[in-house]
Amino acid sequence: MQVIAEIASVRDQILQWRHEGQRIAFVPTMGHLHDGHLALIKKALENANVVVVSIFVNPMQFNNPDDLAAYPRTIDEDISKLNMEGVAVVFTPSIDIMYPQGIDNHVFVSVPSLSNILEGASRPNHFNGVATIISKLFNIIQPDVALFGEKDFQQLAVINKMVFDLALPISIIGVQTVREMDGLAISSRNSRLTVDERQRAPVLAKTLRWISSQMRSGRNNYSELVLDGNDQLRAAGLEPDAIFIRDAITLQPVTDQTTKAVILASTILGQVRLIDNLIVEYTIPMTDDKKE
């Protein structure tokens, strides 16, 4: 396995693979790798001859400098894990390499129809940062296929639209959220939870399952469902951040045409913001109360 930090060097390797007729899969990460990342890599190996993984903590997508500073960085452990998984190249650029003239002077990519709603409304420019760095990494690696976790549901929607609108010749594969035995969605941020917080964290997934069961049983007053879900989070000592019930394709409010909904939720637990989502596939009855 090669570990490459320079853009020119990784492009040289990609060019060599192209000449050999290799199919290339790409998994972008910010490091601190866990089983969720490894699931992406396993899926990548099923869809390509060679797999490239990037490790880059992207400052452009962080709204809070303290959150950026606290993000776990475990590069040596990450490289060891990737080597065991059969990854061909790990791309580890520095901030200066990715933003040579500084972040404020860098071109950015925006997906306005999806970036400014839901999570994007409370995290201004977050998805601009995501779209910009993914677009740049795609341009550097030029993969045939790229893989992303469905846990970051809105992020995946933003990337899918960016690829479609810019006519990028890349197939995007979403990989199902990997969970702990108690239902907690695996995340790099989970390592920052205290023992007590970790015990309470699965309530987020439990709440999503409860809302889903209510929807499947025919309950369609979504505003009240959201309030009830927030009450369940508070009762377990979690601070509700947001719960949305949206069309899973458009991320707009559900209509009588919706056949697949998504419940998107975030909560604050101690110093950590947890996110999760759950798909509900069924015909949702039209309701006069669809807003969260």
Domains identified in the chain and CATH numbers: 2-175 (3.40.50.620), 188-281 (3.30.1300.10)
Determine the pLDDT at residue 237: 94
**Residues forming the annotated binding site for beta-alanine?**
61
CB 26 within 8 A of CB 10: no
Four-point Cα dihedral 20, 25, 26, 27, nearest 10: -140
User: How would you label 135-171 residue by residue, b for 16+ Cβ within 10 Å and e otherwise?
Assistant: bbbbebbbbbbbbbbbbbbbbbbbbebbbeeeebebe
CB 214 within 8 A of CB 189: no
Determine the pLDDT at residue 269: 95
CB 73 within 8 A of CB 50: no
Largest CA distance in the chain: 59
Q: Model confidence over 203-249: pLDDT tens digits?
A: 999 999 999 999 988 888 999 999 999 999 999 999 999 999 999 98
Cα(200)–Cα(193) distance, integer angstroms: 10
**Residues forming the annotated binding site for ATP?**
30-37, 149-152, 178, 186-189
Catalytic residue positions, numbered:
37
**Residues forming the annotated binding site?**
30-37, 61, 149-152, 155, 178, 186-189
Alpha helices (runs of H) in the chain, residue ranges in sequence order: 7-19, 35-47, 65-70, 75-84, 95-98, 112-115, 119-122, 126-141, 153-165, 195-200, 203-216, 222-235
Mean pLDDT of the chain: 93
pTM over 0.75, yes/no: yes
